[in-house]
Chain A
Amino acid sequence: MAQTSVAQPVDHETADAVGSGHTGWVRTTHWVVAASVTTLAVSGFVILMAHPRLYWGKAGNDLTPALIELPVSRNYRHGGWETQTVFYSRSGSALSAVRTYDIFNQNGWARSLHFLSAWFLVITGLAYVVAGFASGHFRRDLAPRAAELRPRLLWEDLGKHLRMQIRTSGGPPYGLLQKLSYCSVVFVALPLMVWTGLAQSPTIAAAYPILPDLFGGTQSARTVHFLVFAGLVLFLLVHVWMVVMSGFGRQMRAMTLGSSHAKN
């Protein structure tokens, strides 16, 4: 299986038409990360279903106001309360109450699966980032050139995508929107997910309070965790759509076997 070595400079003219394929470590880490993120998304959603309310700040629960309420399980805005205990005599006092209903809760397996997949994501992600810098892949293929970062070029690339005039090669060199979206996922979204995930751990937050504090509290971190999840799902949908529209078989070959249609 011939493929262009990452160590060699790519001839952009021919590569743009042909596609250089993806190197072995990119293909391996891509699929481990893809499997981890998919498992994290599913298990995370199941965890969300147990308490589909999001808050801003340090703490929040069914007895305090929500920022967002998501209609995603039978736990959405239902049930009632009994045996209320009011703690203080002042008005608006903190109180406690007992639920009158059984909630949906599959967090036992969902959270353990979430964490198991997170281990795969973090370890593979670290390996990918180290290899990406060491091999020059990030600098050469992912980082947008200074000359590319012009609103006009961005607008043009966006227009091409909307008219479905997209490149059909598998692998780098990437277009401007491709570079920007991949960089956003690798350097912004996934690190934010790990950060806001760790921020929700009582033990880790005790050791490193900056984790939740950066977002204004654990519940804020949980909300950011959800919003970035939503962004990643959007990326995944567009990403798969682009793969389909630009030649599903060729793209899949490039990301599994390693080179695109043209074998040198």
Chain B
Amino acid sequence: MRRTNPVVLSRRKVLGGLASAGGMLLAGCSKDLPPTYGNVLRMGDVLTYRAQRVLLPVHRSVREYSHRDITSIPAIGTTDPADPHQETYNAEQGAIYERLRSGGFADWRLSIEGRVARPASYSLGDLQRFPARTQITKHTCEEGWSAIAEWTGVPLRNVLQAVGALPEARFVNFYAYDNNPDSIDMLDALHPQTILAYGMNGRALPVGHGAPLRVRVETQLGYKSVKFLRRIVIANEFDDMGKLGLIQNGWSWYAGI
């Protein structure tokens, strides 16, 4: 199912950028790499990230399974952004989410901005008009469990192409209604199996799993597959997302593991 469309962003450019960042690994301070803040655990995270990017072949597909392999799957983390009892509840975003959900997400929009030639705002219908990709893959939770499910959506690389991601773009930042922002590098963003998913197991993505849209980053642990998307920003520098981000909360930003 690998698509042959040329991607605006040249992969060589991305790889070249990553390679040139290699020399800065020991210094631990680079706008191309997650910051370590002098924390030895974060230095180890960056070492693992760099080693995988240097040593592993690019864009190998994760295994895809058949329908009979689909398993039950717990819904964890934020399972309802409108529920004030949830850990990262944000009143303003929660209220907006509540309103959007009660309208069947008809008024929901995904804005895509940053280092792009043509910033865009997509409705669910707009995204569903892109050629869809359906994949039955394994969700690997950082807790230790895993589950197999079918996901349907639009490959992120096709969306990046549509908005004209600029060549200097290095990271794709995701912002969500549950206040758990995160980002991935351009290598994972351009992976053919990295999709913006609106469907799960043949139905609309359930609220517990990130309705109306989540990203599926199949090459990393589950927590990188941000749920409840509202905004995507293409960036040329690493953004740790401050107190809401993984790093300042003591988690590894890179979770290819």
Residues of A within 8 A of B (CB): 47-48, 50-51, 53, 58-64, 83, 85, 87-88, 94-99, 103, 105, 107-109, 111-113, 115-116, 119, 200-207, 209, 218-219, 222
Residues of A within 8 A of B48 (CB): 115, 119
Residues of B within 8 A of A87 (CB): 70, 200-203
Bound-state CA distance A95–B42 (Å) is 36
**Beyond A51-B145, A95-B72, A218-B140, is A108–B208 a contact (Cβ under 8 Å)?**
no
Stretch touching chain A among B22-30, B123-131, B164-172, B213-221: B213-221
Q: Are A94 and B72 in contact (CB under 8 A)?
A: yes
Q: Are B145 and A61 in contact (CB under 8 A)?
A: yes
Q: Are B44 and A94 in contact (CB under 8 A)?
A: no
User: Binary interface profile of B, 191-217, with partner A (CB < 8 Å = 1, else 0)?
Assistant: 000000000111100101100000000
Residues of B within 8 A of A103 (CB): 143
Bound-state CA distance A3–B147 (Å) is 56
**Beyond A87-B203, A202-B220, A202-B221, is A58–B65 a contact (Cβ under 8 Å)?**
yes
Bound-state CA distance A206–B256 (Å) is 10
Which of A47, A99, A116 has the most CB atoms of chain B within a 10 A radius of its CB?
A116
Given A63-B74, A83-B75, A96-B73, 4 additional A-B pairs, CB 8 A: A112-B251, A119-B44, A203-B56, A203-B257
25 A-B interface contacts by CB (under 8 A): A51-B141, A58-B138, A58-B146, A64-B72, A64-B147, A83-B208, A85-B206, A87-B201, A87-B203, A88-B201, A94-B70, A95-B72, A96-B73, A103-B143, A105-B143, A108-B251, A112-B44, A113-B41, A119-B47, A204-B52, A204-B257, A206-B60, A206-B219, A218-B138, A222-B144
Bound-state CA distance A96–B206 (Å) is 9
Residues of B44-98 at the interface with A, using a CB-CB cut-off of 8 Å, are 44-45, 47-48, 52, 56-57, 60-63, 65, 69-76, 79
* Nearest-neighbor residue (CB-CB) of B140 within chain A: A202
Residues of B within 8 A of A97 (CB): 72, 74-75
Instruction: Give the Cβ gap from A215 to chain B, nearest Cβ, in Å.
Output: 14
Residues of A within 8 A of B143 (CB): 50-51, 103, 105, 107
Judged by DSSP, the binding face of B is: loop
Query: How extensive is the interface on chain B, given as a class?
Result: 35 or more
Residues of B within 8 A of A53 (CB): 144-145
Instruction: Give the Cβ gap from A51 to chain B, nearest Cβ, in Å.
Output: 3
Other-chain residue from B42, B146, B148, B149 in contact with A112 (beta carbon distance below 8 A): B42
Bound-state CA distance A63–B218 (Å) is 21
Residues of B within 8 A of A105 (CB): 143
* Nearest-neighbor residue (CB-CB) of B137 within chain A: A202
**Beyond A63-B73, A103-B143, A202-B62, is A96–B41 a contact (Cβ under 8 Å)?**
no
Residues of A within 8 A of B72 (CB): 61, 63-64, 94-97
Q: Are B250 and A108 in contact (CB under 8 A)?
A: yes
Q: Does B173 contact A (CB under 8 A)?
A: no
Bound-state CA distance A27–B190 (Å) is 47
Q: Are B60 and A207 in contact (CB under 8 A)?
A: yes
Q: Are B74 and A99 in contact (CB under 8 A)?
A: yes
Q: Does B1 contact A (CB under 8 A)?
A: no
* Nearest-neighbor residue (CB-CB) of A92 within chain B: B72
**Beyond A87-B201, A205-B62, A206-B60, is A51–B70 a contact (Cβ under 8 Å)?**
no
Q: Are B141 and A98 in contact (CB under 8 A)?
A: no
Bound-state CA distance A108–B142 (Å) is 9
Residues of A within 8 A of B52 (CB): 203-204
Residues of A within 8 A of B219 (CB): 202-203, 206
Q: Does B20 contact A (CB under 8 A)?
A: no
Residues of A within 8 A of B47 (CB): 116, 119
